[in-house]
Amino acid sequence: MDERQAVAAFVALGQETRLRVVRALVVAGPNGLAAGLLATEIGVSATNLTFHLKELSHAGLIQSRREGKSVIYSAAYEGLSDLIAFLMRDCCQGRPEVCAPAVAALSACNRPPGDSVHA
């Protein structure tokens, strides 16, 4: 990810509804959510949601697929990972303890629910 792409991603995430969309889709996992269910879950109209989905898709943070008559949206994990890597690429300057909290937060994705991070 280059700086231009990172800026586009941050602009997209810098709006409350779009941030809620991304968080809901991350929670939903790779199977994603149908547009109508997503709108209900985050509390916006379908028309309003469409505008935000377009912005997030353009920024490479979500993706869509058609299943029958439904459009299913899911997080674009590669784009989200690239954004995190862009932020953390030059982290630490030889001091890994600086990045330890961020690494621990990301590694929590692989833990069973209820298991906590121990310092």
Which 8-state DSSP code applies to residue 97?
A: G
pLDDT at 97: 81
The residues facing 73 across adjacent strands are 33, 64
Per-residue tens of pLDDT for the chain, all 119 residues: 999 999 999 999 999 999 999 999 999 999 999 999 999 999 999 999 999 999 999 999 999 999 999 999 999 999 999 998 888 877 777 777 888 888 788 777 665 555 444 33
Q: What angle do CA 76, 46, 78 make, to 5 degrees?
A: 5
Can you list the domains of the chain with their CATH numbers?
3-78 (1.10.10.10)
Closest residue by Cα to residue 17 from 51, 64, 59: 51
Question: Cα 64 from chain centroid?
Answer: 14
Q: Is the pTM of this model over 0.75?
A: yes
What distance in Å separates the CA atoms of residue 23 and residue 17, rounded to the nearest whole number? 10
pLDDT at 98: 82
